Structure 1
Amino acid sequence: MMMAQPPRHPLLLPPFLLLLLLLHLYCPAQADRINALDLAALREIRDDLTDLPGTDFFSTWDFTSPDPCSDFAGVTCSGEPPRVTILTLGTGLSASPGLAGSLSPSLSKLTQLTQLVLFPGIVTGPIPPELGRLTQLRVLSLTNNRLTGPIPTSISALRNLHTLDLSSNQLTGPLPSSLSGLSQLKVLVLASNRLSGELPKSLPAQLLHLDLKNNGFWGRLPLRLPEPLRYLSASGNQMWGPLNGLQSLSSELVYLDLSMNRFSGPIPASLFRSTLSSMLLQRNNLSGGLPPSSSSSPSYGPGSVVDLSHNSLGGEISTVLAGAESVFLNNNRLMGRVPVEYIDAVRRGSTRTLYLQHNYLTGFPVEGGLPDSASVCLAYNCMVPLVGLATCPASAGGQLSRPMNQCPVFNHNDSSTG
């Protein structure tokens, strides 16, 4: 005969279950405050990085903390359960030396990341190709460190990417042609690396900002550049050929810097417009002349800079650049008299710098002096006397005028500055 069991009270729990319940209520587990996989990834990321002396970024990364999303510097979470959506490594403060170490492939385990930022430091090694798994990523900024190796082709899988900034590292190899498939990419900054090779024939169609300066890119500009571009810099490379590809750009372009390359041929007339407030084409092999002025000639505003120096531009100076705040036409093959419109612009203060040295100019029709605030240089031309010599840069040299046997035949009355 079986003995009846005494009834259990529904609120009486075994002691160990009661303890677990109390711990859950009063000491929530980290997994309730952050996804467990994200927490493990943060631990692995931390293991591969360290604070440089003078940096205390990781002092808040205490893995006994009940709420890493709130307590860890640089970590932002959202959702339920919380997932890491923004990771900023380093303080970004000018007084902070930053971080050292390497980037962990475990970054790819933070699958809900929308922004990954590495501030300046001395982080070395490659960019983990595993980052191509972060399909939600919109901003990838890994700047001013010592990252090496190629740009991973896996980045082309980041279909939501808006900004890619890998500038000021030691990256090598070509620009992956597969990046052209990033239809959401608006900002691409690869300046100051060791990248090389030809540019892909096509670039992301919606690019607004493209900065490739100070690399080893060679070859021609793509025949068709992204039409929405507002900022384009490829200075300090080894590129050559004509500037035909620039004709496809819309009037939205406001900054152009292709200086210190080997581009040749004429400058497209479409670039001479007031909306293009910075046009830097110095130190190339450009030829031809300035386009003639017309009723639709640009009216440049404050801060406008046009630098066409150190090329092979010839012919007479048209008035198309009159009124730009800084005009550099020095070290070319320009001839004839300087249009009075440039002198007028200097006098009213709209043009503050006018460098015309090292040309074959024969006249500067000025009566009276020029404002003390103006920098005008006419050294080493075919005219006497020279004015504005005191404001010439040291690079203009000490010779006041070009030897007459190098100058075209002209009426000596035309050589005066009056």
Structure 2
Amino acid sequence: MGVQDFLVVTVIGFCFQAQILSSQNLTCNPNDMKALEDFTSSLKTVVDGWGSSFSSDCCKWEGITCNSSSSLGIGLNNSIDTFRVVKLELPSKRLAGNLSASLGTLDQLRTLNLSHNLLMHSLPTSLFHLSNLELLDLSSNDFSGPIPVDIELPSIQFLDISQNLLNGSLPGSICDKNSTQLRVLNMATNYFSGNLPQGFGNCTSLEDLDLSTNYLTGTSDGISKGIFRLRKLTRLNIQDNMLSGALSEEIGNLINLVRLDISTNGFSGTIPDVFHSLGRLQNFIAHSNRFGGQIPPSLSSSSTISLLNLRNNSLEGSIALNCSAMISLTSLNLGSNLFDGPIPSNLPSCRHLSDVSLAHNNFPGEIPKSFENFHSLSYLSLSNSSISNVSSALQILQRCRNLTTLVLTLNFPGEQFPADPILHFEKLKVLIIAYCRLTGSIPQWLRTSSRLQLLDISWNQLEGAIPIWFGNFSNLFYLDISNNSLNGEIPRSLTGLPSLINWRCPTEEPSPDFPLFALRVSGRGLQYKRVWSFRPTLDFSNNNLSGAIWPDFRKLRSLHVLDLRYNRLSGPIPSSLSEMVSLETLDLSHNELSGVIPPSLVKLSFLSKFSVADNELYGVIPTGGQFLTFSSSSFEGNSLCGHDASPCPSGEDGPLGKWYGKSDKDYTGVIAGVCVGFVFGIACFIGIDRYIWTF
């Protein structure tokens, strides 16, 4: 019998068996049914497709897969076969509540996936004694407490309990009792502490291990007794912990590694020169440690490394990369170290290198002329690197025909911003030249960068007007020109920026996962903003801008931050600003604005920061909405009342009325009111005195 004939007979056999089984009285196993009922009763939410109104055959419920007892080798009972639950899969169903220990009685369960829900409290011990379980995914919930010390999962291949609130020690017994088939183990983003258990060395089939973002301690010697013996590992992520000491040379035993991330720990000493043994390694990420010395030769000449990130260490000396050997290198981040000497002129010969950060080092001198031929370069950061001659730098870099992101902050102190109209950056999307104290005006050549999405030239000494052609940047969603000496009116053309009228986050990130800015996340270390996580912003603060605030700003419905503080803007606050429905920050403080605060601004439901301090405003502070959350400092330095400021006197309809945002009426009403009695006159006097004293 040929192979094709065998397959035909097999398929027919399965179909025949299915017809026989369907003609029998197939029912859900009573024990399994009871376990699922207990599971639902422990939840605070209802599982769609489950419940008393549905079929008693649990195998027809959503997320349940069953096999017949006979197919599982359990046998028939009086010609009545029962279905056994082999898969329970309910990810991303917003399930809330506890996880019932009765699930541990589903003794034929192969797959349990309850990831991305709202389940909480401790993990039942019974789940870690299911002899047939192959996949267990409880990631992205709110489980807390320790996990069982005694684990017996002889069939487990995939185990993911990441992104929970679990604590205590890692279970070293996970591979002690015949769990030799485990290939993927993910315990990342929890609160596990203590040393890495040596028992992990018994997981001989492990290919992917992620223990990142915990509070694990210990030295590399401890790691070498366990993890560094797992020769089948292709991915090892132990970043964002508290590991310390020298990195053991035994890391070279992991000959199948493709990705190694040991970043954000306390490793010190030199990086071991063992990368000739790691012949498959593509990504080596060791940033934010305490490594010193130089880049080892086996790493600086690796033919397989494509991503090398060693930023935020204490590496020193000159940068010597063997670009003729590093044929796979695409991303290089050596920022925030102690490197010195000239910028390596041979980087353009790394033919696939596209993303480079050498920021926060010491490279006195100019950008090498060889960078004119750096045609693969897409992202370049040289901020705070002591380079000089901004004109030469831009002349050279404009020839990098694929350059999309350029960061040159904290360089060129006091130099003239080049106004050469020949400069041309056609593909540039992100340009940051801030904190340089550059002089001159905003150069005309910027208008050729029609693809700009983020422009930051803040903290310079630029003068003159804001160019009208800024309004032609159809993709611009972040503009920071603050802390300069710009004057004149805000161009009305900026009220028509398409990306701020209807901003949609593009799917393509214009720069790699290098930090442009850092944010402190409470209790969880540092996280870094990528370009598309920047809020749509117009920041014109700390200049000498004058004129009115255009009512047409209302069209910028996607703008999140509008910062106009410390200028000389005058006139009223347009009530139409209430149509900027996405505003989170509106700062108009320290200007010369007059009139009242438009009551319509209470409609800005996302507004979390608001200030009109130190203007010439009068009247009643609006109440309601987010205005109930703003402190009195947001309104000080004006003639305002209400809120936490001076209380508004009641009943004014005369000259005081316009001070408090009320219309002028016949003065006779005021005189008559004053004549009503001496007591009322005293009350008015006290009200006026309070106004003068407060403001």
Would you say the 8 A contact 1:340–1:365 is kept in 2?
yes
Would you say the 8 A contact 2:182–2:206 is kept in 1?
yes
Report the CA distance between 1:173 and its aligned residue. 0.4
Q: Which of the numbers 391, 399, 405 marks the counterpart of 2:411?
A: 399
Q: How does 1:6-405 map to 2 (within 5 A)?
A: 32-51=26-45, 57-62=47-52, 65-69=55-59, 71-80=60-69, 81-90=82-91, 92=92, 96=93, 98-154=94-150, 156-181=151-176, 182-203=179-200, 204-221=203-220, 222-224=223-225, 225=228, 226-244=230-248, 247-271=251-275, 275-292=280-297, 297-300=301-304, 304-320=306-322, 322=326, 324-345=329-350, 348=351, 350-362=352-364, 364-367=367-370, 369=372, 370-371=374-375, 374-381=378-385, 383-385=387-389, 387=393, 391-393=405-407, 397-400=409-412
Identity %: 31
Would you say the 8 A contact 1:267–1:286 is kept in 2?
yes
Would you say the 8 A contact 1:88–1:117 is kept in 2?
yes
Would you say the 8 A contact 1:141–1:166 is kept in 2?
yes
Would you say the 8 A contact 2:212–2:238 is kept in 1?
yes
Deviations 1:113-137 (CA, angstroms, capped at 9, x unpaired): 1111112121111100112331111
C-alpha spacing 1:379/1:43, structure 2 compared with 1 (3 Å) = closer
C-alpha spacing 1:110/1:120, structure 2 compared with 1 (3 Å) = same
The amino acid of 1:132's aligned partner reads: F
Q: Name the CA distance, whole Å, in 2 between partners of 1:400 and 1:241.
A: 39
Would you say the 8 A contact 2:189–2:213 is kept in 1?
yes
Q: Give the superposed CA RMSD.
A: 2.9
The amino acid of 1:220's aligned partner reads: T
Would you say the 8 A contact 1:246–1:268 is kept in 2?
no
Q: Name the CA distance, whole Å, in 2 between partners of 1:188 and 1:59.
A: 31
Report the CA distance between 1:144 and its aligned residue. 0.7
Question: Secondary structure at 2:48's aligned position in 1?
Answer: helix
Would you say the 8 A contact 1:233–1:256 is kept in 2?
yes
Question: Secondary structure at 1:39's aligned position in 2?
Answer: helix
Gaps of 5+ in 1: 1-25, 402-418
Higher relative contact order (CA 8 A, sep 6+): 1
Question: Secondary structure at 1:38's aligned position in 2?
Answer: helix
Q: Name the CA distance, whole Å, in 2 between partners of 1:359 and 1:28.
A: 76
Would you say the 8 A contact 1:379–1:392 is kept in 2?
no
Q: Name the CA distance, whole Å, in 2 between partners of 1:259 and 1:65.
A: 52
Question: Secondary structure at 2:297's aligned position in 1?
Answer: coil
Report the CA distance between 1:74 and its aligned residue. 1.0
**What is the TM-score when the length of structure 2 is the normalising length?**
0.47
C-alpha spacing 1:63/1:195, structure 2 compared with 1 (3 Å) = farther
Gaps of 5+ in 2: 1-21, 70-81, 398-403, 414-695
Report the CA distance between 1:185 and its aligned residue. 1.4
Q: Name the CA distance, whole Å, in 2 between partners of 1:188 and 1:254.
A: 16
Deviations 1:286-312 (CA, angstroms, capped at 9, x unpaired): 112112369x933357xx321100101
Q: Which residue of 1 aligns with 2:622?
A: none
Question: Secondary structure at 1:82's aligned position in 2?
Answer: strand
Report the CA distance between 1:63 and its aligned residue. 6.8
Report the CA distance between 1:84 and its aligned residue. 0.8
Q: Name the CA distance, whole Å, in 1 between partners of 2:309 and 2:23.
A: 66
Q: Name the CA distance, whole Å, in 1 between partners of 2:121 and 2:409.
A: 46
Q: Name the CA distance, whole Å, in 2 between partners of 1:58 and 1:327.
A: 48
Would you say the 8 A contact 1:288–1:312 is kept in 2?
yes
**Which region of structure 1 is more displaced relative to structure 2, 72-81 or 135-144?**
72-81
The amino acid of 1:214's aligned partner reads: T
Question: Secondary structure at 2:121's aligned position in 1?
Answer: strand
Q: Name the CA distance, whole Å, in 2 between partners of 1:206 and 1:277.
A: 21
Report the CA distance between 1:379 and its aligned residue. 3.7
C-alpha spacing 1:383/1:59, structure 2 compared with 1 (3 Å) = closer
Would you say the 8 A contact 1:228–1:249 is kept in 2?
no
C-alpha spacing 1:342/1:230, structure 2 compared with 1 (3 Å) = same
Q: Name the CA distance, whole Å, in 1 between partners of 2:380 and 2:148.
A: 49
